[in-house]
Structure 1
Amino acid sequence: MSGASPQECEPVTTNGTIAVTNLHGQIDGLAVRLSRAGAGEKPGASSAVAQGAGLIDLLNLRGHILARVADYERAAELAEGLVRVAPEDGTALLARARTRATLHRFAEAVADLGEAGRRGVDEATLDAERAVVLQALGCYADAMALIRKSADRQSDFTTLGALAVLQAERREVTEADRLFGEARRHYRGTSPFPLAQLDFRRGVMWHREGDLGAARSCYEAARRRVPDYAPAQGHLAEVELLRGDPQAAVALLRPLTWASDDPEYSGHLAAALDACDRFHEANQWRERAAAGYAELVLRHPEAYADHAADFWLTVGADVERGLELALQNLAFRQTARAHALFQRAVLAQNRIPQAAP
């Protein structure tokens, strides 16, 4: 792995396990305060909107760290309610834009960002949010321009981290790795979450490039920072399976299937159990993943069609369904990865023997 590895520059942060406990407490405390304020505070009051937006952001963070779809859905529901009671408040619109972007409802998110700007939200904040959407849609040059435009209003860590992730998406690996290292060196906070997320995204880059050793190092760094970080643990399990250790993958994945409601981990566990020749148990987890994806694709097709397509093309063993979902995903966004997924599905379909007439 080129550049500085995560172990070479270790900022001191809050213990990751304590930080997750505190996150639970913050969410519960804000929820209680908002519920009590609802009876005596005028709907749409700025303090209630600010607290509601804060709760939404915390739920989205916990949804990512612990891989909880239910947290994303709760955040989205709260955001809709916030805009209903304060339709002209820019903070409420910004909160809803973030939840919509999280669930890949990008056109609606962009509309909310535009309206939030008309309601007084500062341009730098909006540019940062628009850059996230543009990157997700594969509009890398436009995303780069917005990140650089808002750089003077953001911390060095935030700007460098955003640029690192963008360059990783563009497959500019050498530059991305340099920026990941620079971002770590500029971190001045005490929360472990931003650093764990940075290490995770660095690992995803190396994973995609096929450097499993570098990916493993980054995922392990993210888990040292936040031991409960589900995406890092799940991706580490994928690396272990690719490295030929399905037993290690099973050990990493099993606790995730208990703690997370994301069917991705059930699907990966089924694949790992197959590799261990534990076929009966693998089938049980395969069925559980299939049921989970069926529900999620109905509720949030933009966010989960690609994951579901990948499941059906691999451990789910239903190429027709995988092709249908890959095409649906391609309709949502014309990114390189969406095209690659669709091409995989087409190739898999072409390999299916045709029945004799």
Structure 2
Amino acid sequence: MNEVTARPATRRRLSYLDVRTGRLVEAELVAANGNGAEVKLETAEGAFEARLLRSGSAGHRALDNEIITGLRLRRRLAGRPHPGEVAGLIGYNTAGGEPFALAEPYRGDPCGAEAGRLLPHDLHRFQVSLLVGVRLLAAAGIVHRALGPRTVRWDGDRVQITGFAHAAVPGEPRTAVGAPPWSAPEQHPEHVAGDVTDRDDLWAVGRLILYMATGEENRGPDAAELPPELGRLVDGVFAPPGERPAVTEMLRRVEAADPVPYGPEPDPGLVAGRREFFHVRQTKDPKTAPVREGEQKPETGGRKSRLGRLPSIWREKNRPSAHWAWLAVSVIALLALAARLIGG
């Protein structure tokens, strides 16, 4: 992270919900860099550095995406240590006139600075770390949609995926985003169609793997023209979304373990934060109101839920009749008599 040394003329107080604890925190902004994006805050528990994210020209949707990504990932981890491969959310406040979020500081530099310069061992670590980060996002139900040399950073040990302004969840309608060669064809304005899937990010992953290995930004994706090991790694990545390999398959190709061997467990510490966030979002747009866990959306036409009590007429029609019961008993008796005669 760039040094945060500039002190504001007056200390500004910030209130935010800490997603790690679910508690409201009061902090003072004691220093910031030139553009105010990187700040130093003091709380009752001590000082820390963070990135201050605001809606700005990108609009509230971009800030919402940053917050939703952080919340979904925290919930998916269910109290486990936050992985370094994905920049974590610290807290947010969307209730005031100037909504903001606080994210973990940047590590390292944009990975493009090392394109074509990594030694084989470091290149392999980059590939594994990138796939681990994308796997964690996929497990949380997040598709980044803007992976590239600027949003993926490298500190010599691990990547750090940042910039979730364009993130989406699988099933949302696709929208145009990014530019070649990093954006997948289904994200180009002239081809955008269908819904976001968990394979949409794999195109950019393949492009980054080629770029970091060769230093050539526009290197052709034809596996036959690549070194055998590199060709095997990106095989199928540049196919249509439905034909691309899963990120778990790519992890196997680099002989790395799946970082998500656990199931989705709720994190009680995030319940209050998620409820408050979606309440505020609903006030902006009532259509975004989430269905509470354990509930179902009401069905139209007055029909009862498929998981509710069955209609009495259905139960009567499907109840076995006495006729069938007596027939079953008769068949069993005949079979027993036949067995006795044959044996006797």
TM-score (norm: length of structure 1): 0.27
Q: Bigger radius of gyration, 1 or 2?
A: 2
Q: Greater helix percent: which structure?
A: 1
TM-score (norm: length of structure 2): 0.27
Q: Greater strand percent: which structure?
A: 2
